[in-house]
Amino acid sequence: MASLKDIKTRIGSTKKTKQITKAMEMVSAAKLNRAQQKATSFVPYTEKIREVVESIAAGSEGVSHPMLEDREEVKKTGYIVITSDRGLCGAYNSGLLRQTQRLIQERHSSPDEYGLIVLGRVGLEFFNKRNMPVYQELTGVPDQPEYNDVKNLASTTVQMFTDGIFDEIYVHYNHFVSAISQKVTEQKLLPLTGMSEETGSEEEQATLVQEYIYEPSADEILEHLLPHYAESLIFGALLDGKASEFGARMSAMRSATDNADGLIGDLTLSYNRARQAAITQEINEIVGGALAQS
């Protein structure tokens, strides 16, 4: 049985740990609010670009672009995986990485059939330990990222599709559902299939066509707009993933704080029982000594 001093030391160290986890919970909550606002405010931007692209596809006959068409043979698939740089965020990273690894094992029989673009130190270390092919990496992304922080990686990834290194690209990230819930999500980034078909009824197509007057040609506009749209989808997934990360970290630190409270209660109870037993033993020894002298 632990001594009173040992129990008291554990109570003190657990209280200090609780202070740390409580502080981290509050910091994560503040970062979550900012990240959630940023992710939400970016959505209308990508939706507007999609609307313009759909308008061009609906109003121009014979418009085509390699980024809008499935390739006949998919020789290599790219996966953009968005994780965190640090731990202490519950199952935020482990659930995503397990899902990515499982899908890769189901879809591919050789490392030559896929490549990874990894954001976040946790994901990078995970794939490097398993000797999985990493084509690009980015670590140290700020808690509140700007587009310039990922612009080079995003544009290079889109260029890898254009150059034929990848025949299709998926993004894997944690979609923010709520402060206590995140959903592992796979989104097909390239090719942007379905955009030219998902233009609705003839009435809706006419509305889209009348809304924009554009020049020069539709092909030239798509040539510049589609890569930027794909890059913005990567940035949007990163913002969504950051909000999920802070939500997961806040929940994990809250659970740690609650566990610390429970442990402090158990240790305090054990301390009181041990102290009471020690006092009782001392009384018995005094009484026994007195009786022996009488």
Q: What is the 3-state secondary structure (H, E, C) of the chain?
A: CCCHHHHHHHHHHHHHHHHHHHHHHHHHHHHHHHHHHHHHHHHHHHHHHHHHHHHHHHHCCCCCCHHHCCCCCCCCEEEEEECCCCCCCCCHHHHHHHHHHHHHHHHCCCHHHEEEEEECHHHHHHHHHCCCCEEEEECCCCCCCCHHHHHHHHHHHHHHHHCCCCCEEEEEEEEEEECCEEEEEEEEEECCCCCCCCCCCHHHHHHHHHHCCCCCCHHHHHHHHHHHHHHHHHHHHHHHHHHHHHHHHHHHHHHHHHHHHHHHHHHHHHHHHHHHHHHHHHHHHHHHHHHHHC
| Catalytic one of 32, 89, 158, 222 | 89
Would you say 3 and 211 are in contact if contact means Cβ atoms under 8 Å apart? Answer: no
Would you say 153 and 117 are in contact if contact means Cβ atoms under 8 Å apart? Answer: yes
Q: Is 89 a catalytic residue?
A: yes
Q: Which residues are catalytic?
A: 89
